Structure 1
């Protein structure tokens, strides 16, 4: 832990400079510096809940609301790593709840944050394993992880680079609800006591039945004629463009919405799109999506929901290289038929269930174009329906009960 703290201390000036750059660009508010370094004022909150960004917090909103309803004595401070997520939580207007940027995981920032808010429990979502926060909060009360994910690659890295630190962290966790059996096994292998495993639940699976299908694309194209390539990584745009071009030539699809995982790669992506000769427009350049556009580069943040809503088919990317694939739950929630590449290790159980139920179509770089040409409206609807059936979670009441029992209170100590 000493080495970890030393590294974070050395990085502190760089963190401060990064915040300053974000502030100058208008990407964070005036209070970001104070909040990130634990200097902001606030009121007491018995429960500290942390999620990285919009997706994690949105998927857990139902759980947050359950906690608030069941424990009217609790006040919450919800933290995140992005200003947009902070604003989103503020806009929820949940009772007894404050939203802040999370303190950096330095000893001083976490200590100052705790002094201001005085939380007696920490709940964090998915794979936000921040050692300083966990170890400091374990001295104050229970630390709970919900929807925890531990990939094979991450587990190997932790075991190789910092096995003692990971064992220390695992020993301080009160309750871990893993999102799949593989993650649960890897947490135990890294040192989590078996009895501290709670009910398994994929947070993003909750609420599939609450989402409504979106409108058709605003260019007159029917939804079943729109393909979304969601969160593409380097090397994947060429695969997507080749497959789409083949299907487009044969009249299968009218529009490709190409959403790069990292908008900073826009120059590279633009060059690839331009080389196809297909008419295109770029979202960040405020170029309109007009009739005749074949490729729309959606290189902005926080707008994925509308792209899922517009697309009858979603190719989930990060699955053609070593990234391990991205979530199938969001396209399923929007009733968009799911395609994916060969590598889906990050959500292995979910994709196994999808493939077994006929709720997704596995493709390769070579078979993508041919597969797209088989996806007429009826096939898309069948895939989307099967996906929702395969991914709808079991009753989550066991998890809610376990979390409430672990939280400090009059009856729980």
Structure 2
């Protein structure tokens, strides 16, 4: 009651502000203009990251239903509009704004991405008997503790959800503990892994087996990688290297490091390729380099940067090597190591490991295969989730 009263008072003040020259974004979030078009399914995501991750799900639903997408940010809204779908700023969690939006859209199903809980929106949807779902749901331990102090707010929101696919088992358990009915739980799905899981990797051949990719390297990492590669190359002269640096503006600095070892360097920024060492000092081409390499050394893990995602090299069936600093992806690397798809390697042991894997094509291939299998298992089955959402939308006719 307090939440509803507070939101109503706040909305009154914001409507006055909007009429006195408020921004177009504020008017849209208050449901004043423009009036959204009608749709079967309303999908909501916070911003660019969430919406990009869920794009395969959104476009699959849009192939069968009229899908309306909202975001909390203008960049998120504009991103989806660029996909050719109707996109708007989401109505604020206020009675008038949400009512006006629902009057216009009249959805059968509302789908929220990842981790947003809006008590008033949930209640107004339930009053209209609009099915509610959440996919890629996640909630941290800290957030769960906070919500547990307000059971009268979070409990009803979770009880009204007809279908929830959590991002991980920890989020799923926390949501159940806060009141999510077990009957609403669907198989887990990590939205961020859908796009890499959909990649079709090339078959292994001699070129891939002899190509090492050092991906997203930082200052201080190129030197030991270059030295390790040079040592391994003594046993395998066919071994080649791609250095894909994290920050292209370091191109001159890294090119000098390569030349200091009496090596010729070819720079992608100069549209040069081939040779023994290719310096990938451009942006937006990582897929190109993963496709060429059979073994990937993930940067950011040998210096204090927390590592970078292992899922992109796993998508391309690369054997994965990484250093000890993987704080940003502890669970991911743990799962890959357990399955034999990744190996923790210190800089001192790197030459021996490169020499071992470059001389044992079967072992490297098995690592790459294991890495991709872990990716597919962690990503989950989007087809099953899409079918569940489709059934909810059809039943609501």
TM-score with structure 2 length normalisation?
A: 0.65
Contact 1:229 1:240 in 2 (8 A): no
User: Secondary structure in 1 aligned to 2:366?
Assistant: helix
Aligned equivalent of 1:182, options 170, 185, 193: 170
Aligned equivalent of 1:255, options 235, 241, 256: 241
Point out where structure 2 has 5 or more consecutive residues left out of the alignment. 15-22
Aligned equivalent of 2:345, options 363, 371, 380: 363
Distance 1:123 1:165 in 2: 23
Distance 1:271 1:200 in 2: 45
Contact 1:206 1:392 in 2 (8 A): no
- Of structures 1 and 2, the larger Rg is shown by 2
Distance 2:96 2:319 in 1: 44
1:211 aligns with 2:196: no
Q: Which residue of 2 aligns with 1:339?
A: 321
Aligned equivalent of 2:188, options 182, 200, 210: 200
User: Secondary structure in 2 aligned to 1:89?
Assistant: coil
Q: Which residue of 2 aligns with 1:380?
A: 364
User: Secondary structure in 1 aligned to 2:372?
Assistant: helix
User: Secondary structure in 1 aligned to 2:273?
Assistant: coil
Distance 1:124 1:182 in 2: 19
Aligned equivalent of 2:222, options 237, 241, 245: 241
Q: Which residue of 2 aligns with 1:93?
A: none
For residue 211 of structure 1, report the CA deviation from its aligned partner. Answer: 0.9
Point out where structure 1 has 5 or more consecutive residues left out of the alignment. 11-19, 21-30, 91-97
1:46 aligns with 2:40: yes
Aligned equivalent of 2:273, options 290, 295, 305: 290
Contact 1:214 1:309 in 2 (8 A): no
Aligned residue pairs total 353
1:145 aligns with 2:147: no
What is the Cα-based RMSD across aligned positions, in Å? 4.9
Contact 1:53 1:82 in 2 (8 A): yes
Change (3 A) 1:67 1:32: same
Aligned equivalent of 1:155, options 141, 147, 151: 141
Deviation string, structure 1 residues 220-250 (Cα, Å, up to 9, x no partner): x9434444455x4xxx613531332123322
Contact 2:220 2:303 in 1 (8 A): no
Deviation string, structure 1 residues 347-385 (Cα, Å, up to 9, x no partner): 655544432322222234554454334332444322112
Q: Which residue of 2 aligns with 1:314?
A: 296
User: Secondary structure in 1 aligned to 2:111?
Assistant: strand
Change (3 A) 1:48 1:322: farther
Q: Which residue of 1 aligns with 2:20?
A: none
For residue 310 of structure 1, report the CA deviation from its aligned partner. Answer: 3.1
Contact 2:322 2:344 in 1 (8 A): yes
Contact 2:209 2:293 in 1 (8 A): yes
Q: Which residue of 2 aligns with 1:76?
A: 67
Contact 2:44 2:90 in 1 (8 A): no
